[in-house]
Structure 1
């Protein structure tokens, strides 16, 4: 560019490069042409999604896999409205995202009607902040956008880029990135008249349980969780999006809340006399909080949700707080490893309940994929009945090893999220676990996957039904209305998009299809015909 003054678009690109952005997921239009070019010349790869909604899901999948802000871009009007679902998903899933939509020239924006939508009013309810990119303030706005998106609790910000502002010479062009990490691992104790000594509260409990959530993932609190669980003999239950923050092969692991076998997990929590909510975010709750035991709130943010009452809050660095509680512990562990193992055995038996002999059951699919997956594989689950089984049954040993939406819980993340996770983690095998309903929403992204050369596997649970809704219709003695899906030849579909495809209907066939999962040269689609009877017995 030589000595050419930086445009507003150029400053946006400079900030994103400085923040570590490698990909922008986009469906561009007239007002964003300049932005695409500035991304290109700054080394940001622009990935063309097949629609705006999947661009946002790709940005979310990338952010889930890395913890860094995902970036997505749309044009004006229908492009901006199509982006909303994925942006809302990022906000409720507590995932950092910067979403940018084009707009007509600012001189016409106030009165023109064709393809004009008020982005501020559209995005304010589903983002942490909805702002505008202007030549005189672009640097400040980008600092605010990045800081807001990544601050506790993370989420999406949306920026409007008018056609005239984005190409104009920037008058606020200096790049000064905001800080990301706290200066020190500090905690603050907040208590009521009932007491404010969290360590004493924990020591007084005879059956404490740790409930770890996505705040613990962001805090890197695995070490603190392990230390406290082992010192206090406290079993650990995790929320679905926090899978792996406590290793699921650890003797004190006790299961995943609100997934399959949820009644058993809620009973387990209900039998405790103290719940230590470690980075637990109530946005993940599917069932209402029903535990009578007192709660010790440990998180980076105060207990403003009040979904559960907590007379004592430890606010600050979650890992530091847990380590402090572990170091302050005195006395014997409250439960033995054998006692927790007995609970896990009951959980496992409940998980496999309802299998049909001689058929391909949903749990068979989870087991066969797990058996074929190399060490360190990342699984991305879409929403549907299968998600509840993946959430409980997929053994996850490290944070960000199992990715899903459980805040907004929007169908459609599976395929685009798998593509983005592979771009983020090219060193890992990445497998999508998708229902046939969610797959139908996003199947055309497979052509993008093949063009990118990403060796992902997408395993489709095929039962011809929107099963979760159909089961609820059946429970009310209603007919299956608008819940049946017509058969589609997914193998032919995959091959038409330059992917490999295979159809299976037994565990043995699935195991054969998944051989070499760690060395795929192009996308693989597995059409797995399951017997859905196990879903009904589970839920």
Structure 2
């Protein structure tokens, strides 16, 4: 007979999950041992919250559910931010937390938290594993986590259950990927429901594509439709690379730097096709007046933007059908889209200080120094808005960020995970010094794992996004200034290779220098933040 922990490990193996991220405690000893025997590597994060973000990044990189493990009490409560991030970033995550023995749970209080009440509001489903139903529970957990919209489930593993013999031990992984999705069309009364007819009647259509299209693998049909109909494509931040950013019909990224330029361009449309666009990424309210056709695997239940026609099904198949059915002429000339990008570029570089190391200089110089297939991770802060617009990628998933919950401290754990899972692919982490301060102990994990992401830190001793808001209201910088630290020396103390730079020339030298392949390299870039004030 298999134990409950062995059944857990069996399901992870069947799902192709090779790494679990977490921080152990008494109730997880049996689970970790079962995973070890099954060949699943347990990665010890420096705290549960960052381990959960690593599991989230694992899912983003591999397309398989991420798995995070914590103990009871503070271990589980520390995991909540990562679970909430997975919920709003639409990432499949199985979070497992230990619990006290079932015989004591009802009356004992030490380290006992009600997981169902704690994780219920931030999960798609919560459950407690029992020996009598462990297989069924895991099947439901995996199916729920991966179903549209993907997100987190939370499982509680009592200490007296993990080592018990499982009565329900069969490994029967549920189907987790669609193999063909029927299409449904919904339309408001009195409007033309056929999306192809609507597109043919439009003179200035624009496509806004998002993470639903990314999950559907819709790059090829999206490009075909853009080329056939001559339609510019705006992408959401987490969908960067879905439309190759060197393509003539790539227009821009929504709600990042220069967002006024992008919104003005979008307001000029007479029809907007929202292709897998999830409104969870919207920072600004939806203001365009053009009619919207919603194309997604889910109905437009949020109603953050209105859509008089909804085409619900496989996003890639729907876009392919529109491309195949198109018979008209191009609606936009490539030169018109190029003119928009030029306007955007001019706005992007506003506020540069001559002779200083500007934030856009850092992005441009790092981009020029690294291979085209480099994956970037971006943390939350002023620099994220510039990276989101200015870092160029041509590959789906070429940039990883959190833009649903937008949780600071994401970029470093994500970069470590990406370098661990795909060591052959270059990876650069962009972090502010505030975001790094939240998770900098994970640099030692990167050294321990012998992974080699390039970690670029924008150092300005400030929580700049909030300080700028204080400045606009003529308030002093209260609670938004950080004590200056030598980030390079701190990184070296954790076994990393490091440089400190304060000029474009110094940054170029650091980028040109040899980097070790068995530990992270950290570049602490002392920037002039004046450009942020001009941008935001």
Are residues 517 and 216 of structure 1, via their aligned partners in 2, closer, same or farther at CA, if it must alter by over 3 Å? farther
Counterpart in the other structure of 1:506? 503
Contact 1:8 1:166 in 2 (8 A): yes
Give the whole-Å Cα distance in 1 for the aligned partners of 2:182 and 2:507.
49
Match of 2:387 among 358, 381, 390: 390
Match of 2:426 among 410, 422, 429: 429
SS at structure 1 position matched to 2:162: helix
For these two proteins, the number of residue pairs brought into alignment is 535
Match of 2:79 among 83, 90, 95: 83
Q: 1:68-112 CA deviation, whole Å, 9 max, x = no partner? A: 111110000000000000110011001111100000001111121
Counterpart in the other structure of 1:30? 26
Give the whole-Å Cα distance in 2 for the aligned partners of 1:173 and 1:476.
61
Give 1:494 deviation, angstroms: 1.2
Give the whole-Å Cα distance in 2 for the aligned partners of 1:451 and 1:517.
20
Q: 1:104-157 CA deviation, whole Å, 9 max, x = no partner? A: 001111121110000000001111111111101111111111111111111111
Give the whole-Å Cα distance in 1 for the aligned partners of 2:258 and 2:71.
44
Task: For structure 1, list consecutive stretches of 5 or more residues without a partner in the other structure.
Answer: none
Counterpart in the other structure of 1:280? 277
Counterpart in the other structure of 1:455? 452
Contact 1:374 1:518 in 2 (8 A): no
Give the whole-Å Cα distance in 1 for the aligned partners of 2:73 and 2:36.
24
SS at structure 2 position matched to 1:327: helix
SS at structure 1 position matched to 2:5: helix
Give 1:181 deviation, angstroms: 2.0
Match of 1:371 among 368, 373, 389: 368
Give the whole-Å Cα distance in 2 for the aligned partners of 1:535 and 1:107.
57
SS at structure 1 position matched to 2:161: helix
Q: 1:248-306 CA deviation, whole Å, 9 max, x = no partner? A: 00000000000000011111111101110000000000001111110000001111111
Alignment of 1:184-203 (within 5 A): 184-193=180-189, 194-203=191-200
Q: Please, what is the CA RMSD of the aligned residues?
A: 1.0
- Verify: 1:402 aligned to 2:395, yes or no: no
Give 1:186 deviation, angstroms: 3.4
Give 1:518 deviation, angstroms: 7.8
Give 1:519 deviation, angstroms: 6.3
Give the whole-Å Cα distance in 2 for the aligned partners of 1:188 and 1:507.
54
Give the whole-Å Cα distance in 1 for the aligned partners of 2:352 and 2:77.
43
SS at structure 1 position matched to 2:428: strand
SS at structure 2 position matched to 1:25: strand
Q: 1:7-66 CA deviation, whole Å, 9 max, x = no partner? A: 111101100111011111010000111001111111110011000000101111111112
Match of 1:172 among 168, 184, 199: 168
Counterpart in the other structure of 2:414? 417
- Verify: 1:135 aligned to 2:131, yes or no: yes
Q: TM-score, normalised by structure 1?
A: 0.98
Match of 1:48 among 44, 47, 51: 44
Q: 1:315-354 CA deviation, whole Å, 9 max, x = no partner? A: 1110110111111112210110011000000001110111
Give the whole-Å Cα distance in 1 for the aligned partners of 2:93 and 2:239.
19
Counterpart in the other structure of 2:326? 329
- Verify: 1:15 aligned to 2:11, yes or no: yes
Give the whole-Å Cα distance in 2 for the aligned partners of 1:310 and 1:285.
16
Give the whole-Å Cα distance in 2 for the aligned partners of 1:460 and 1:301.
38
Give 1:183 deviation, angstroms: 2.8
Contact 2:447 2:518 in 1 (8 A): no
Give 1:185 deviation, angstroms: 4.6
Give the whole-Å Cα distance in 2 for the aligned partners of 1:302 and 1:516.
51
- Verify: 1:244 aligned to 2:227, yes or no: no
Contact 1:87 1:126 in 2 (8 A): yes
- Verify: 1:343 aligned to 2:343, yes or no: no
Counterpart in the other structure of 1:253? 250
Give the whole-Å Cα distance in 2 for the aligned partners of 1:508 and 1:318.
46
Give the whole-Å Cα distance in 2 for the aligned partners of 1:132 and 1:221.
37
Match of 1:316 among 290, 313, 316: 313
- Runs of 4 or more consecutive aligned structure 1 residues displaced over 4 Å after TM superposition: 516-519
Give the whole-Å Cα distance in 1 for the aligned partners of 2:79 and 2:447.
23
Counterpart in the other structure of 2:213? 216
Q: TM-score, normalised by structure 2?
A: 0.99
Are residues 517 and 15 of structure 1, via their aligned partners in 2, closer, same or farther at CA, if it must alter by over 3 Å? farther
SS at structure 2 position matched to 1:180: coil
Counterpart in the other structure of 1:290? 287
